[in-house]
Chains A and B, each alone.
Chain A
Amino acid sequence: MADEVKKKVVKKEKKAPSPKDLALDVASQQMIQRSWDMEVETIFDRAQTMKPCNIGAQGTCCKNCAQGPCRLPLPKGGIEGEDTRKGLCGATAHTIAARNFARMVAAGAAAHSDHGRGVAETFLAAARKETDDYHIKDTKKLLEIAPDFGVETTVEGKDGEILDRDIDEIAVEVGEIALGQWGQQTGDVCTVKRAPQPRYELWKKLGVVPRGIDREIVEIMHRTHIGVDQHYENIVEQCTRAAIGDGWGGSMIATDLQDVLFGCPYPLKSSANLGVMKEDHVNIVIHGHEPLLSEMIVQAAELPEMVELAKEKGARGIQLSGICCTANELLMRHGVPLCGDFLQQELAIVTGAVDAMVVDVQCIMENIANVAQCFHTKIITTNPRARIASGDTTHIEFDEHTAFEDAKKIVRTGIENFPNREKEVMIPDQKEDLIAGFSYEAVNYHLGGTFRASYTPLNDNIINGRIRGIGGVVG
């Protein structure tokens, strides 16, 4: 009897995880261990104590009005016969799950598309020459995309001859029409027509071509308010409009205009993981999602006066690296190395080597501000949309009209923080080589060469079975 009780107790005791149980990546394992040694809390600790809410995980918690929140969990083993679950208003589990799904689509499409809007605004400022910091760089891509925005690239001369149209004029018109796609109320978001003809026709037939990028997102929020759209199929139809407005609209326009402003990516070599940071350099980590400011930071960090200042402060130079998609943007166009992914943002600071972490929008954990307080790291927020109340952060707001000056201020702040390193620096050795920069134009070129760029060789190899198929793996 006593033995049995003992066994039960032993069974209940949870084995403390080791870093190897929490991450596959060796660099992350080392930094998790170090965070434990230094008693710095990270997401890996919080995930042990914070377990997901079961009803939320099922998508059937509705808090869209104050009569609830109504909780409609699916009983273990499912439901035999009729499903009679209802919220106070009568919303079924299907309606509630669809509403919650739709609001995720709305938030996701809003995040991508608001990013795109910022790019379009900067693009237009550059095209109108209202800023000295941004220029129309990739005119080839501009001429390629202009027809999709309904912008002419040629004009008729006096004698009826066809002449090239002024590139600045084209840029302004593309910028105006692009920015107009967000607020458009009727018609089609213009870039949606890029889809294969049968796909576009299917969408037309179903009536799901988005009218305007913002409009479809707003309509999701309306339809999911209490007492509006209570048919899950109809809710999903609106999700489709908003999602197409994201992928074939806001996101696509963001990519287009970023390529024209900063250059279409072509393959280049770089490296990835925490080991890209250098102990004897000022480490500035750029984190978030937009390339607008970080493009300027790349330029600012290369200025001789900045490198000189870094040396004055005792460093050998400035090492930029990135986390999340801002990192990917800079990698694609400049080969700036990847410091880490979403789950490594706190761990990067735990190295003790980050002199400044510059953040813009999306996927920035509030807790980096707390982790930074255990070290000398300065967290610099830059976007009016994204401020952090935790910890002690510095806000240097980015304005596209003074972008380069803002970037210099940020880089200087990082450099001046270098002598404040107090704790021992420990940067993992891990870094992997990589080749990135595969825009669809680059793939085209790689497969076919300059004169016969095409996807035909890829198709041929799929048809003959050397390649089984294509996987788009994201997230």
Chain B
Amino acid sequence: MIVLTTGCNAIACAKAGLLTPESAKVYCGPGLAEVCETVGIPPVLHMGSCVDNSRILMAATEVVKAGGLGEDISDLPAAGSAPEWMSEKAISIGHYFVTAGVYTVFGVTMPVSGSPVFENYLYNELEDIYGGMWDLEVDPVAHAQKMIAHIDKKRKALGIDKARERVLMDMADRQKLEAA
């Protein structure tokens, strides 16, 4: 999973050494590691300050436009996260991610637990309206797993959930394809 990051989370990733192209080999699966090495990018891309979350929205929009992954941001195999949020700004960011169609998980706490009805509205019902919703997961591993599960769900909906054999094609194979 390639990560786009901003703000204090970007600083935390930097301190953990995740913003170097070399870190891909250490922490990523073979597929992402190969892409990072080929393109020469880190697996975690620092996109700027917190107003620069707009760059993440634009990147998501570009991915939709590039084609093959659905018609809208809510179709993309993508998820949002604020694992150690603390400011009110994060709530505004979370809500514009959700209403853009992104499943968005917050960590630490969410001051809505006193109202199970409202909590359910944010954590479930919003998905029917916007294709994105809020969630809370305090445990960091379970937090990441929830994002991955959502991404897998979207991959399945797009029909790209099956592993594909990588076939080396020569000219004769291509001609056969074209003839067919």
Query: Which residues of A are interface residues toward B (Cβ below 8 A)?
Result: 25, 27, 52, 55-60, 72-74, 78-79, 83, 92-94, 96-98, 100-101, 104-105, 107-109, 111-112, 115-116, 194-196, 198-199, 202-203, 206, 208, 232-233, 236, 239-240, 242-244, 246-248, 250-252, 254-255, 258, 265, 267, 272-273, 289, 291, 324-329, 331-332, 338, 340-342, 362-363, 430, 432-440, 443-444, 446-447, 454-475
CB distance from B41 to the nearest CB of A (A): 6
Contact between B20 and A58, CB atoms less than 8 A apart: no
Digitize B112-124: 1 where CB-to-A-CB distance is under 8 Å, 0 elsewhere: 1111111101100
B20 in contact with A440 (CB, 8 Å)? no
11 A-B pairs with CB atoms under 8 Å apart are: A108-B91, A244-B96, A252-B57, A327-B11, A363-B87, A435-B41, A436-B10, A455-B62, A467-B2, A468-B155, A471-B81
Residue of B nearest to A250 (CB): B51
Q: How far, in whole Å, are A363 and B85 apart by their CA atoms in the complex? A: 12
A57: chain B residues within 8 A (beta carbon): 109, 111, 113
Closest chain B residue to A232, Cβ basis: B118
Q: Does the CB pair A202–B130 fall under 8 Å? A: yes
Cβ–Cβ contact B20 & A112, under 8 A: no
CA distance A438 to B45 in the complex (A): 6
Q: Nearest Cβ distance between residue A216 and chain B, in whole angstroms?
A: 11
Chain B 61-92, CB within 8 Å of chain A: the 1/0 string?
A: 11111111101111011111111111111111
Q: Which residue of A lies closest to B130 (CB)?
A: A202
With most chain A CB atoms within 10 A of its CB, the pick from B4, B40, B47, B80 is B47
Shortest Cβ distance from residue B22 to the other chain A in the assembled complex, whole angstroms: 9
Q: Which residues of the partner chain B approach A289 to less than 8 Å between Cβ atoms?
A: 49-51
Q: Quick check: B116 and A74 within 8 Å, CB to CB?
A: yes
Q: How many A-B residue contacts, CB cutoff 8 Å?
A: 387
**CB-defined contacts of B12 to chain A, threshold 8 Å:** 341
Does B59 sit at the interface, judged by CB under 8 A? yes
A94, A199, A243, A272: the one contacting B15 at CB < 8 Å is A272
Residue B3 at the chain A interface, CB threshold 8 Å: yes
Q: How far is the CA of A107 from the CA of B86 in the complex (A)?
A: 13
Q: How far is the CA of A444 from the CA of B60 in the complex (A)?
A: 12
Interface string of B82-112 (1 = CB under 8 A from A): 1111111111110111011110001001111
Shortest Cβ distance from B102 into chain A, in angstroms?
A: 7
Given A432-B16, A454-B66, A463-B160, A472 and B92 contact (CB-CB distance below 8 Å): no
- Report how far A254 CA is from B14 CA in the complex, Å: 24
Whether B139 sits at the interface, judged by CB under 8 Å, is no
Which A residues are CB-close (under 8 A) to B130?
A: 202
Known A433-B20, A475-B7; 18 more pairs at CB < 8 Å: A55-B114, A101-B122, A105-B91, A107-B88, A112-B92, A239-B95, A252-B57, A252-B58, A341-B15, A435-B19, A435-B20, A439-B55, A457-B39, A462-B69, A462-B77, A470-B77, A473-B44, A475-B90
Question: Which residue of B51, B68, B74, B82 has the most chain A CB atoms within 10 A of its CB atom?
Answer: B51
Chain A residues near B66 (CB, 8 Å)? 454-456, 458-459
Chain B: minimal CB distance from A233 (Å): 7
Contact, CB under 8 Å: B54 / A232: no
Shortest distance in angstroms between B128's beta carbon and chain A's nearest beta carbon?
A: 12
The CA of A447 and the CA of B38, in the complex, are separated in Å by: 10
B155 to chain A: which residues have CB within 8 Å?
468-469
Task: State how many angstroms separate the Cβ of B31 from the closest Cβ of chain A.
Answer: 3
Contacts of A196 in B (CB 8 A): 61, 64-65, 71-73
- Chain B residues near A272: list those with CB within 8 A: 11, 14-15, 19
Known contacts A458-B66, A466-B35, A472-B78, A112 near B89 by CB under 8 Å: yes
Evaluate whether A195 and B61 lie within 8 angstroms (CB atoms) in the complex, with A60-B114, A232-B118, A454-B66 already known: yes
Q: Given contacts A60-B115, A94-B115, A232-B117, are A362 and B62 in contact (CB under 8 A)? A: no
The answer to whether B1 touches A467 (Cβ under 8 A) is: yes
